[in-house]
Amino acid sequence: MKFVHDTGSLLASMPAYVPGESYTVKECIEEVKDKESKRSLQIYFEKLKVLEPSKNSVEKVRRVAKELGERLSETDVKVIALALDLNAIILSDDYGVLNVATYLGLEAKPVRTKGIRGNVVWINYCPICKTEYPPDVEVCPRCGAKVIKRPRFKTSK
Ligand SMILES: [Zn+2]
């Protein structure tokens, strides 16, 4: 199973949690700017392959976005084009990205928002000792690490 992550998906550290192969475009990496996300970027960076989409796919995505009246950023276009090249599942919270991707026959899943079909369930979790906690616990009582929110990813297939 292949996944293409947009910036939102990278910020949610999704590459660390999804099964199979993870891909993104270099523009998304550049958009991951805040410190905390940079740190999590290091955690999953080895799992993440950065590729450039084909020109054909970029053109196709631009054409479809125009047809649908979606204003996509250049980064959005490249994310969708890469998913088209790889026949991968797109992880994004951008409505326009999800819309265009679905129109192109790709499988697209939202990240932070509750899934359209309830695909993502958030759990509270210590990244160090892997203990799960109730939503109100912010610091792990066992090892003192900051508890993070983590999606429990369910694929519909
Ligand atoms: Zn812990």
What is the reported pTM? 0.70
Q: How far is the CA of 145 from the centre of ligand 1 (A)?
A: 6
Distance from the CA of 119 to the center of ligand 1, in angstroms? 26
Tokens coding 130: 């892997």
CA of 132 to the centre of ligand 1 (A): 9
Q: What is the mean pLDDT of the chain?
A: 85
Q: What pLDDT is attached to residue 117?
A: 44
More confident position, 146 or 121: 146
CA dist 137 and 146 (Å) reads 9
Of 66, 71, 79, 67, give the one whose Cα is nearest residue 30.
Answer: 79
pLDDT of residue 149: 78
CATH number for position 75: 3.40.50.1010
- Residues 13 and 87 grouped into a single domain: yes
pLDDT in tens, 71-109: 899 999 999 999 999 999 999 988 889 999 999 999 998
91/127 same-domain check: no
How many angstroms does the Cα of residue 137 sit away from the middle of ligand 1?
A: 11
Residues 18 and 49 in one domain: yes
User: How far is ligand 1, taken at its centre, from the CA of residue 123, in Å?
Assistant: 14
State in Å: Cα 135 to ligand 1 middle.
15
100: nearest Cα among 68, 132, 53, 59: 68
Number of neighbouring beta carbons within 10 Å of residue 74 = 11
Average pLDDT (6-14) is 88
**Exposed, middle or buried, 109 (CB in 10 Å: 0-12/13-18/19+)?**
buried
Q: What is the mean pLDDT of residues 37-43?
A: 75
Residue 156, pLDDT > 70, answer no
Q: Are residues 62 and 123 in the same domain?
A: no
Please identify every residue whose CB atom is under 5 Å from ligand 1, which is an ion.
126, 128-129, 140, 142-143, 145
Quick: pLDDT tens for 118-142.
Answer: 444 567 888 889 888 887 888 999 9
Do residues 75 and 92 share a domain? yes
Indicate if 59 and 123 belong to the same structural domain: no
Instruction: Report yes or no: 97 and 76 within 8 Å, Cβ to Cβ.
Output: yes
pLDDT above 90 as % of the chain: 46
Give me ligand 1 centre to Cα 76, in Å: 36
Q: What end-to-end distance do the CA atoms of the chain give, in Å? A: 11
- Mean pLDDT, residues 66-70 taken together: 89
Cα 15 to middle of ligand 1, angstroms: 21
> If 0-12 CB within 10 Å is exposed, 13-18 middle and 19+ buried, where does residue 23 land?
buried
pLDDT band at 148 (very low <50, low <70, confident <90, very high): confident
Q: Are residues 128 and 85 in the same domain?
A: no
Residues spanned by the domain of 124: 118-156
Residues 72 and 143 in one domain: no
State in Å: Cα 125 to ligand 1 middle. Answer: 8
Amino acid letter, residue 157? K
Say if residue 37's pLDDT is above 90.
no
